[in-house]
Structure 1
Amino acid sequence: MSSLFIWGKRSACLLALLMLAPPARPIASAPAAPRFLEEKVGVASVGTPEQRILSAIDHIRSGNLANARATVDALLKEQPNYRLAHLLSGDLYAMRAMPLTTIGAGADSTQAARLEDLRKEAQARISIRLTHAPQTQLPAHLLVFAPQQQYALLIDAEASRIYVFKNVDGVPTYVTEHYATIGKLGSDKFREGDQRTPLGVYFVNNHLSRPYLDKTRGARADLYGIGAWPISFPNELDKSEGRTGSGIWLHGVPANTYARAPWASDGCVALSNEEMLDIAQYIQVGQTPVVIVPKAEWISKVEWQSRRDAALSMVDGWREDWESLKTQPYLSRYAKQFKSDEGQDLARWSSQKASVSASKSWSKIQLDNLSIYASGGPRPHLTTSFTQNYRSNNLDNQMNKRQYWQQEDGIWKIIFEGAAT
């Protein structure tokens, strides 16, 4: 039996442990009472807090309660506000008297909502081990980095996970990852106050330090822990679709807790303070893309290169048609539901572009600092950003531009185009 099969089987058992209904076997076998009168001294597992909480669950599941106790105690000594670790600690004490069928079975049943949140946190942390791929495959969402973009953040809403990738000669290279909290009602934000985290391509556009938050937010500053990094929601496409809201940030957590439940924010993405500080070192304000998807897609390098080449060819084809004054092929690259940043629909846009093209005898168009990122979910898009250098017989200008592409009858077309904000 391969080690991969054994690991998958073990992970599947761990998932069963966390469900509300009792699993096929209890959290630990029912031992004879005298065995627990004098608990053996165990060996604490080492690693990150997440690695150790998972190790403790593994130890409990296998019946190695001494190592589980040592691991939980060491973790709580380092992270005294880690509520999931406290819950496991209570379970370990309860198991001296009786077997438990699920995490938290030995806790006060009047705290049902809190127990459920902690079970969901444990399940989110364990589940990632079943589908983990970022160190062996590439993210389908990070296709083209602009040269100045050193890192990109990818947030998998379903997995409650944030990943950091480095731009290494244009290839997204895995750096690190952490558990993260998203909106109480999930993802795909549409309006102010819907307690959802947005889906799409955004950019970190500010840093609000904790001292600044203390001055401006008072007692509420503690909600954001060590500080906040706002992102550019709503983006240009969101606004054109009538999506509303503001104040979507990456931020820390209050001082009295280590981590929050997977779905607990009002739409922001929250990490433990320690892990938010780790993420912060990779953020370039004004540059770092934050790609939020319902579920991350991991592909081989060969497939990633193919998608990257296709995206680059698509954008260059648009540029070439425009530069060559091929008005009809150029306009055919725009979707029927197209909107410009000035509110023009496809008919008005086409009329204006045809008129402008008729006044040209030649044009030269160069795209610099190009980036291309792909979102997923119910409305998949490609987001392209670039510096456009345009020259013709009667005009010479430069602008930062952003386009959003979506598929129409199986063909990628531009749904929005305008100045990048």
Structure 2
Amino acid sequence: MVCLCTQLRFIARRIGYKASSAALGVVVAASVMATPAWANGSKPGVPARLDPEIMLIDVYKALAANRLRDAQAKADALVAAYPTFRLGHLVRGDLLLLHTRPIKTFGAAPNAPADKLNNLRDEAIVRLKSLRERPDPEMIPRAILQMRDDQKNVLLVDAKRSRLYVYQRVNGQFKLTSDYYISQGRLGVNKFKEGDQKTPLGVYYITARLPGARLPEFYGPGALPINYPNEWDKANGRSGSGIWLHGTPSDSYSRPPLSSDGCVVLTNPDLKELSASVEIGNTPVIISEDLKFVSKAKWDADRQAANKMLESWRADLETTDPELLRRHYSRNFKAMRGQNLNNWLDKVQQSNLGARKIGVSLRDVTLFRYPDQKDQKELIVAAFTQEATIGKGRHVTRKRQYWAKEGAQWKIVSEVNL
């Protein structure tokens, strides 16, 4: 058992288990035995196919149960189905070595480049760790507060777990329908400038669907660009471009967790499935360093509080009283094109055409918590269609606002007409 479970003991230590001797040989088994229902079939929302992640789990289950021949057969099937899945080949190679001698490390292939072995070890660790830390179906991602009726799905990237989760809005609630292993920037997250090899953190939208036939083979079957840098990025001096969700070259099934220049990289089968579920300009993509979850009761309370915050602003906008409106804006307000708060509020007042009272309604409201970042206040991004009635005139504008928590109050720190 000691030799058979070398891989399991190595991974167990790396994913946070602390045990000794033979106990470490079975802790990963505990993880994989506790996998979700889809671990014995296809993932939710995904057409049935031989899923390499499920096949890899089966190899580890057999290995943890000391069924070496069964594990070998499953590993053979894995690399036969996915010949470019390098992690599968690593696991299979270790199993073959076990027939001849004990192994002392995960990835015992002689003369293999150390950096490539480390990359594969990291991939194995994050894949299994993501199974240990599955989202609780009774909890809701804290980042989601409210979506429009015409928005079906939201994509949430969790950099810490190298995972992309797809949540679907069902009867006003949010349900996890699928999730995928992903690779991110070589230097992690929190992108600030062009070429820093980091993946941005923020709330974005899919802006296009680029077919693979129009792209270099490096990107696989296609790409889904996002709108980085968004308004908040630009207001804070962040630069760069070309942040995509894309696939892999044909000679690589997957890439190491930290391997892109800033893009979010999926396997080619996963990208195809994901691409079929997104709507251009309509599907939000929230990239977080560490995705947080809350209870349904907490989510509902937070959603109501955010709507109350927005309603208070709307009501004061109707009065056309500049001082009532000003109280909703931060002294650190940043508008596009270098406008300060006074410039922006003057522009708002001018649009009222001198009316003492106007009618304002908001519809198609979306509310998302902005991912936590170092040295940044708690942030909510609101987008909505504003309809203002001034006399016999009617003015419709799509807006996006960024609200920061300053002390106990929420204040608008940036606003843009879309």
TM-score normalised to structure 1 length = 0.85
Residue 388 of structure 1 aligns with an amino acid whose one-letter code is Q
Residue 419 to residue 356, structure 1, CA distance change in 2 (3 Å): closer
Matches of 2:220 and 2:409, distance apart in 1: 45
Matches of 1:372 and 1:109, distance apart in 2: 53
Residue identity over aligned pairs, in percent, reads 33
1:343 matched to which residue of 2? 338
2:208 matched to which residue of 1? 206
CA contact (8 A) 2:144 2:368 kept: yes
2:410 matched to which residue of 1? 412
1:246 aligns with 2:251: no
CA displacement at 1:170 relative to structure 2: 3.0
1:229 matched to which residue of 2? 224
Residue 355 to residue 392, structure 1, CA distance change in 2 (3 Å): same
Residue 108 to residue 411, structure 1, CA distance change in 2 (3 Å): farther
Q: What root-mean-square deviation, in Å, do the aligned CA atoms of Structure 1 and Structure 2 show?
A: 2.5
Which secondary structure state, in structure 2, belongs to the residue aligned with residue 336 of structure 1? coil
Q: Superposed, which structure 2 residues align to 1:268-347 within 5 Å?
A: 268-347=263-342
2:81 matched to which residue of 1? 78
Aligned residue pair count:
385
Residue 190 of structure 2 aligns with an amino acid whose one-letter code is D
Q: Superposed, which structure 2 residues align to 1:42-81 within 5 Å?
A: 48-81=51-84
CA contact (8 A) 1:28 1:63 kept: no
Question: Unaligned stretches of 5+ in structure 1?
Answer: 1-10, 30-44, 214-220
1:97 to 79, 97, 100: 100
TM-score normalised to structure 2 length = 0.86
2:382 matched to which residue of 1? 384
2:36 matched to which residue of 1? none
CA displacement at 1:386 relative to structure 2: 1.2
CA displacement at 1:403 relative to structure 2: 0.8
CA displacement at 1:383 relative to structure 2: 1.3
1:15 to 11, 16, 19: 11
Question: Unaligned stretches of 5+ in structure 2?
Answer: 1-6, 27-39, 43-50
**Per-residue CA distance 1:168-217 (angstroms, 9 max, x = gap):** 2332221110111111110111000001110000000001101122xxxx
CA contact (8 A) 1:388 1:401 kept: yes
1:40 matched to which residue of 2? none
Residue 314 to residue 46, structure 1, CA distance change in 2 (3 Å): closer
CA contact (8 A) 1:57 1:68 kept: yes
1:128 matched to which residue of 2? 130
Which secondary structure state, in structure 2, belongs to the residue aligned with residue 113 of structure 1? helix
Matches of 2:259 and 2:64, distance apart in 1: 28
CA displacement at 1:14 relative to structure 2: 6.7
1:396 aligns with 2:394: yes
**Per-residue CA distance 1:27-70 (angstroms, 9 max, x = gap):** 979xxxxxxxxxxxxxxx86621122123123324422122111
Matches of 1:286 and 1:353, distance apart in 2: 27
CA contact (8 A) 2:381 2:400 kept: yes
Matches of 1:307 and 1:13, distance apart in 2: 42
Residue 330 of structure 2 aligns with an amino acid whose one-letter code is A
Matches of 1:357 and 1:208, distance apart in 2: 42
Q: Superposed, which structure 2 residues align to 1:107-146 within 5 Å?
A: 107-146=109-148
Matches of 1:173 and 1:277, distance apart in 2: 21
CA displacement at 1:350 relative to structure 2: 4.2
Which secondary structure state, in structure 2, belongs to the residue aligned with residue 281 of structure 1? helix
